[in-house]
Amino acid sequence: MKPKVLLQFDGDKHPSSFDSVVAVDAGVDQLLSFGDVATEDIEGLIHGAMFTRGPADLRRTAAFFGGSDVTLATRLFERAQTCFFGPIRISMMADPNGANTTAAAAVLCAGRHMEVAGRRVVVLGGTGPVGCRIAELVATQEARVLLASRKRERAETVCEEIKTRVGQNATIEPIAIDDSLAARECLKEVDVVFAAGAAGVELIPSGWLQSETSVRIAVDLNAVPPAGIGQVEASDAGLVREGVTCYGAVGVGGLKMKIHRAAIQSLFESNDAILELNQIFEIGREIESV
């Protein structure tokens, strides 16, 4: 049997060492990493992967699209899908900046404690790579979503983009939150809060747990001090503080890593898997159901 080969495509100068290590831990036999990849490079790279093996062995070749530039990774991923010829194709996964696997893990962690359907959910940092994906997942589950950004115009744009993917009936509203006090004020009306802002930026100040709030679940994905949500520790993994179930970045990270490894392993089950946000979330659901 031919070895499992994973091609790692990254727009950054150096391909992500994080993604490389996860690929090895997922059981990849040969990892071929490419940095500084541009859109015009993809056709030749994908064809090289497709045409070196017969149809029966193509399920042993797959591609992973990562890197810190989410927009570029998305373009590379979309371009790659135009390079196939009927059944002559390979499986592919997109997880730029870890956004898809992190968002899936965050939503699943919250779902351990509450069904989000019909619940009021706020996503702080909602226009970032992880935040917009969290918003999309909970909107798909019929939550009432507040997507927060410092600039309302940007939040409005992202809300419309999400609606084009999940349906115009999705309940998702843009809100502008330009300081931590405004963020804490919005907690009076929501059941679940996700914080997916920039590293090291406090979005909700300490003391909020002692204030009047309707929040029952808080998920903070900032691993760099200070925390995005004051009083939520990075290691929290379902810890209840003042009646609020809390998850920090490390607490979510365990499930994120399981999803990431399982998704890569699933690439080698066929030669036609296309793994993006929703497919990765379903893999996470399967993990949670075991």
**How many DSSP H helices and E strands does the chain contain?**
9, 12
> Which amino acid would we find at residue 203?
L
Whole-number Cα distances in Å, 95 to 14, 45, 63, 223, 269: 16, 19, 11, 19, 19
List of the chain residues with pLDDT < 70: none
Q: What pLDDT does residue 225 have?
A: 86
Whole-number Cα distances in Å, 66 to 23, 63, 75, 180, 257: 12, 10, 11, 32, 15
250's tokens: 């490390």
Distance from C-alpha of 208 to C-alpha of 196, rounded to nearest angstrom:
17
The DSSP bridge partners found for residue 279 are: none
User: Quick count: other Cβ atoms within 10 Å of Cβ 21?
Assistant: 11
Distance from C-alpha of 104 to C-alpha of 149, rounded to nearest angstrom:
20
Q: What pLDDT does residue 188 have?
A: 87
Distance from C-alpha of 218 to C-alpha of 59, rounded to nearest angstrom:
40
List domains and CATH numbers for the chain. Answer: 5-94 (3.40.50.10280), 99-252 (3.40.50.720)
Q: What pLDDT does residue 200 have?
A: 84
Q: Can you give the pTM of this predicted structure?
A: 0.96
To 10 degrees, the CA torsion angle through 67, 70, 73, 75? -170
Residue 132 · residue 156 · CB < 8 Å: no
Query: Order of strands across the sheet with 237-241?
Result: 172-176, 144-149, 120-124, 192-195, 217-220, 244-247, 237-241
Residue 273 · residue 94 · CB < 8 Å: no
